[in-house]
Amino acid sequence: MKPLSVRLSGVPKSSIRKLFDLLTQEDAISLGIGQPDFPAPQAVIDATIAALREGKGSVYAPTMGIPRLKAIIAQKLQKENNIAADPEKNVMVTNGGSGSITLAFAAILNPGDEVILFSPNFLSYFYVASYFDAKAVEAPRRPDFGPSLDALEKLVSPKTKAVLINSPNNPTGYACSRAEIEAIASFCIEHDLYLISDEVYEKIIYDGFTHVSPASLDGMADRTITLNAASKTLSLTGFRVGYLCAPEPMLPLMENYIQYTCAGTNHPCQYGVAAGLEQILKEPASLDPVIKAYQKKRDACYARLNEAGLECPKPRGAFYIMPRVDATGMDGAAFSRRLVESSGVAVVPGGGFGKYSANHVRVSYAIDDLKLDDALSRIERFVKSGK
């Protein structure tokens, strides 16, 4: 038989999926998956069912998304992100945040191009770049996981096409300040680079911190692609609906890509997401209880992991925390394997998020409080006694 795709054969199985294979214990607890633990809003479910009843599941959606959802996204971008977007020229509905990433890369990357990102970072960026024969170049984060402008300066080259940021961040929980976003934006203008801003965790942010969208800054709208999804904000990871806002010349290219790969996005679910985004626009405080609950879990993880000797900076957003584990004499991979084998708790080895985090693990705390408490107790015991 002739060889299969070289490009796809080189991609390892996701470290998170591998972890599930190890989770065999009956009372196992997974701190591995990045998935909200609250139910989707009733308004989303009702609107999706109504759309199904109207037969939307039997009809293709418009390739770029239904007009109602695109209009609400444009309103949301204006009100919440201070981004002026034309729903027909700048907005597109996608197959989740993952679909948004793929389309952003498809629109701007040519073979040999490089995208600089701060490392550790979300693993999909590395592999999706390779699907377009481009390379994700890792700029090491500061010890507090903040972005390092010095690292960007060292890595930029004629091959650099874009900088990619994800704030609040998976896996570190770091959220950039306005000054940091402004500095990265100035860097992109100075070096004539695109900026890809993955904002899927924009709403999950703590301690009164404010999310800043780089596309809202002067001179940035025509070089920034803003990525988002319904998955994390509305607890809709199973819907596979996301969206993006991009400069006008990019949209036809994205349309070319999506029409022949996906032929659009789930039709009935777009009505549900429209209802969910509309509800948040009308009642922004409706998310407060969810954020408060995450913040309580964040506080517990931050205090107990540091006390156990697993040093970690305090996350400002998302639902992840990333402790160093090398004080235990193990790297992230060994720690993760032995923890799951001896204590039935799954955490993700940091090496899956880039080359600067082999001595870390990622903990996702988006789980029930009692289970989280139990998992933290098991981690404390494991660190103390090795079991």
Ligand X SMILES: Cc1ncc(COP(=O)(O)O)c(C=O)c1O
Q: Given the rule CB under 6 A, which residues bind ligand X?
A: 34, 96-98, 122, 166, 170, 198, 200, 229, 231, 237, 242
CB of 322 to ligand X, least distance (A): 13
CB of 201 to ligand X, least distance (A): 7
The nearer residue to ligand X, 201 or 382, going by C-beta atoms, is 201
Provide the token pair at 65.
Answer: 């998304």
The total number of residues written for the chain in this structure: 387
Nearest position to ligand X, beta carbon: 97
The nearer residue to ligand X, 66 or 229, going by C-beta atoms, is 229
CB of 105 to ligand X, least distance (A): 12
Taking the C-alpha atoms of residue 124 and residue 105, their distance in angstroms, rounded to an integer, is 11
CB of 309 to ligand X, least distance (A): 27
Beta bridge partners of 260: none
The nearer residue to ligand X, 356 or 374, going by C-beta atoms, is 356
The nearer residue to ligand X, 33 or 334, going by C-beta atoms, is 33
CB atoms under 10 Å from CB of 209, counted, come to 13
Rounded (5°) CA angle 185-187-192: 95
The nearer residue to ligand X, 233 or 328, going by C-beta atoms, is 233
The nearer residue to ligand X, 32 or 97, going by C-beta atoms, is 97
Contact (Cβ atoms closer than 8 angstroms) between residue 293 and residue 38:
yes
Instruction: In the chain, count H helices and then E strands.
Output: 13, 12
Provide the token pair at 356.
Answer: 């600067």
Taking the C-alpha atoms of residue 228 and residue 95, their distance in angstroms, rounded to an integer, is 10
Is residue 114 within a helix (H) or strand (E), and if so which, with residue range? strand 114-119
Buried b (16+ CB within 10 A) or exposed e, 3-36: eeeeeeeeeeeebbebbeebeeeeeebbbbbbeb
Beta bridge partners of 99: none
Taking the C-alpha atoms of residue 86 and residue 342, their distance in angstroms, rounded to an integer, is 54
Whole-Å CA distances, 270 to 33, 50, 243, 367, 380: 24, 12, 10, 27, 43
The nearer residue to ligand X, 267 or 378, going by C-beta atoms, is 267
Taking the C-alpha atoms of residue 250 and residue 65, their distance in angstroms, rounded to an integer, is 16
The nearer residue to ligand X, 200 or 383, going by C-beta atoms, is 200
The nearer residue to ligand X, 109 or 308, going by C-beta atoms, is 109
The nearer residue to ligand X, 170 or 213, going by C-beta atoms, is 170
Taking the C-alpha atoms of residue 339 and residue 353, their distance in angstroms, rounded to an integer, is 19
CB of 122 to ligand X, least distance (A): 4
CB of 387 to ligand X, least distance (A): 31
Name the residue among 134, 67, 63 with its Cα closest to residue 94. 63
CB of 200 to ligand X, least distance (A): 4
CB of 61 to ligand X, least distance (A): 17
CB of 3 to ligand X, least distance (A): 30
Provide the token pair at 168.
Answer: 């609040």
